[in-house]
């Protein structure tokens, strides 16, 4: 391995943080849409938001514009770890395999590298994801001043260390699906468009947009389950039975959601997911490519 092998990790982390800042309010809307309508949870049974735009306006009007950025710091911390490990691992694995394969690129190899990188990095960064989700939805209960340290203390005190890894299985599965679609599709499109557009921003823009559509369609059902599992509290000590809306695990959440809300419940928040993934990937890949060319 050469002296430049550390660079994909740094580029991936920096580009991920830049993209997160630019698209975070959309992620907040997506998260709030995904948790509403759970019929086992009386508080969320009635739909508060009609869609992404309605969620933006109601949140800003009722809780203040800054509430759209609630959870931004654990999100940035997540990208600093998840983004760094994910993209660094993917491009490093690809580089190693290409060296042993005479530079010949394979879609199947790219998918395998992406799955490994996505699942591994998301599992490590899961605690920051839990804190982000909790902070994003805190305002729906009237608590608009939840800080990162307070949120961490609350989860750790009442739910233990396992509370920080709530929803880790669907998180890893979601990340694997996104990475398996997003990264190979981007590389494939970029390679195909190279002769037409060259290695420039227009190529990166189109390739990242196409990759976003595929990953949004493939990952949203798992994302809904992941968000719901992360948002639920499972206390270490309880004076009585646990609330009825607590899911016992990933499979139970899938079954309960389908039984109570139907198939399309798995695509709650799809519009903001797509609107976020598009700009997020465009900002990320353009930033990433510019960093590569700059250094």
In this predicted model, what pLDDT tens digit does every residue of 25-73 receive, in sequence order? 999 999 999 888 876 555 555 778 888 899 999 999 998 888 899 889 9
- 237 found inside a domain: yes
Name the residue range of residue 29's domain. 7-294
Task: Give the pLDDT confidence score for residue 290 in this predicted structure.
Answer: 84
Let me know: does 193 contact 201? Beta carbons within 8 Å: no
Task: Give the pLDDT confidence score for residue 242 in this predicted structure.
Answer: 46
16: Cα within 13 Å, side-chain hemisphere? 20
The CATH number of residue 282's host domain is 1.50.40.10
> Phi and psi at residue 262, in whole multiples of 5°?
90, 170
- 175 found inside a domain: yes
Number of domains in the chain: 1
Tokens representing residue 247 in the block: 């899911």
- 1 found inside a domain: no
Under the banding of pLDDT at 50, 70 and 90, the label for residue 207 is very high
Percent of the chain with pLDDT over 90: 34
Task: Give the pLDDT confidence score for residue 237 in this predicted structure.
Answer: 59
- 162 found inside a domain: yes
d(CA 10, CA 40): 43
Under the banding of pLDDT at 50, 70 and 90, the label for residue 168 is very high
- 19 found inside a domain: yes
Look up the pTM and report it. Answer: 0.74
- 135 found inside a domain: yes
Residue 157 clears pLDDT 80, i.e. is over it: yes
Task: Give the pLDDT confidence score for residue 292 in this predicted structure.
Answer: 80
- 2 found inside a domain: no
């Amino acid at each position: 391995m050469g002296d430049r092998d550390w660079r994909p990790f740094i580029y991936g982390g920096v580009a991920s943080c830049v993209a997160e800042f630019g698209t975070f309010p959309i992620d907040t809307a997506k998260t709030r849409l995904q948790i509403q309508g759970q019929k086992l949870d009386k508080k969320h049974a009635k739909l508060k938001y009609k869609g992404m735009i309605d969620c933006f306006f109601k949140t800003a009007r009722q809780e203040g514009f800054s509430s759209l950025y609630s959870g931004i710091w654990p999100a940035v911390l997540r990208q600093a770890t998840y983004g760094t490990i994910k993209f660094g691992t993917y491009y490093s694995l690809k580089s190693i395999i290409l060296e042993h394969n005479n530079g010949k690129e394979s879609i199947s190899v790219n998918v395998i590298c992406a799955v490994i990188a996505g699942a591994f990095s998301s599992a490590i960064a899961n605690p920051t994801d839990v804190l982000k989700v909790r902070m994003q939805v805190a305002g729906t209960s009237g608590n608009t001043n939840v800080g990162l340290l307070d949120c961490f203390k609350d989860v750790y005190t009442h739910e233990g260390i396992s509370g920080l890894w709530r929803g880790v299985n669907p998180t890893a599965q979601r990340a694997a699906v996104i990475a398996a679609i997003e990264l190979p599709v981007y590389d494939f499109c970029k390679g195909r468009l190279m002769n037409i557009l060259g290695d420039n921003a227009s190529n990166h823009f189109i390739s990242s947009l196409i990759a976003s559509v595929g990953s949004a369609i493939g990952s949203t059902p798992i994302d809904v389950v992941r968000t719901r599992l992360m948002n639920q509290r499972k206390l270490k000590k309880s004076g009585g039975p646990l609330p009825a809306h607590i899911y016992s695990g990933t499979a139970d959440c899938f079954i309960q959601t389908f039984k109570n809300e139907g198939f399309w419940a798995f695509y709650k928040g799809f519009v903001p997911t797509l609107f976020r993934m598009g700009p997020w990937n465009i900002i990320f890949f353009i930033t990433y490519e510019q960093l590569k060319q700059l250094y």
